[in-house]
């Protein structure tokens, strides 16, 4: 009887051990599946966040994010006394690019300009697509004296881009209007002055940077 009881007990423990082992496998499997789903959820949320703040074609910040960033920068500057400068970058004769080489070539031009300009700026600066073939640079802690140096660097780098894949010898230039953010000035007025400087740069022959009065 003792031997029988011992055997029965042993079998019970063996079955319990197998049950626990299977349970552990199921828990591990469920944990891995949950981790995978959480990872996919994080990626999906990041994708949604990027779509809300990034331009789909070029990958730089979109207009909505730019305007919000400018408003926040203006509030920070009014509070601390630090200045910033706004630059509007416009691709010269962009309509001709689309007409002569097609819209895919136009997209390629915008993408390359966005990468080139972004690489020429500091991490603290903000760069985005304002609309169509226009981009905007928000140069933090910078007056127009420093901004013209940065803008000229961006302009030169863009002029040096090799677009041989589109057409041999094909080059693109940009014009840039620059305006300091004045104390107490609404950001919309800063944009207006930068845009007026951009128009003057285009009227003066394009492929140049001009600071608003």
Structural domain boundaries of the chain?
A: 1-53, 63-211
CA distance 180 to 143: 6
Residue 151 has pLDDT above 90, yes or no: yes
Indicate the helix (H) or strand (E) that contains 40: helix 2-53
Apex 114 CA angle, 189 and 103, nearest 5:
105
Average pLDDT rounded to a whole number, residues 9-15: 52
Nearest of 61, 60, 87, 84 to residue 151 by alpha carbon: 87
Residues making up the chain, counted from first to last: 213
List, for residues 167-208, the tens digit of each pLDDT value: 999 999 999 999 999 888 899 999 999 999 999 999 999 999
Nearest of 176, 67, 71 to residue 113 by alpha carbon: 176
Cβ-Cβ contacts under 8 Å for 161 (sequence gap 6 or more): 112, 113, 116, 171, 172
Residue with tokens 């394009």: 206
Residue 205's region, left for phi above 0, alpha for psi from -120 to 50, else beta, is: left
Residue with tokens 């029965």: 8
List, for residues 63-114, the tens digit of each pLDDT value: 999 999 999 999 999 888 889 999 999 999 999 999 999 999 999 999 999 9
pTM score, whole prediction? 0.78
Q: Domain 63-211 belongs to what topology? A: Alpha-Beta Plaits (3.30.70)
CA distance 187 to 31: 50
Mean pLDDT of the chain: 87
User: Residue 149: what pLDDT?
Assistant: 97
The partner residues of 129 in beta bridges, in order of sequence, read: 135
């Amino acid at each position: 009887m003792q031997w029988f009881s011992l055997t029965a007990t042993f079998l019970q423990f063996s079955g319990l051990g197998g049950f626990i082992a299977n349970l552990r496998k199921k828990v591990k499997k469920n944990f891995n599946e949950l981790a995978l789903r959480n990872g996919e959820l994080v990626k999906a949320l990041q994708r949604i966040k990027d779509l809300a703040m990034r331009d789909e074609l070029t990958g730089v910040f979109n207009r909505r994010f730019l305007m919000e960033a400018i408003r926040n920068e203006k509030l920070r500057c009014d509070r601390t006394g630090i200045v910033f400068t706004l630059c509007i970058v416009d691709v010269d004769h962009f309509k001709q690019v689309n007409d002569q080489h097609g819209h895919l070539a136009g997209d390629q031009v915008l993408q390359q300009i966005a990468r080139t300009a972004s690489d020429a700026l500091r991490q603290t600066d903000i760069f985005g697509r304002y609309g169509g073939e226009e981009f905007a640079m928000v140069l933090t802690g910078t007056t127009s004296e420093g901004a013209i140096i940065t803008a000229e660097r961006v302009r030169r780098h863009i002029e040096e881009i090799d677009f041989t894949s589109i057409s041999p010898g094909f080059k693109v230039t940009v014009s840039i209007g620059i305006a300091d953010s004045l104390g107490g000035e609404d950001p919309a007025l800063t944009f207006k002055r930068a845009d007026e400087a951009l128009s003057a740069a285009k009227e003066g022959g394009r492929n140049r940077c001009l600071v608003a009065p």
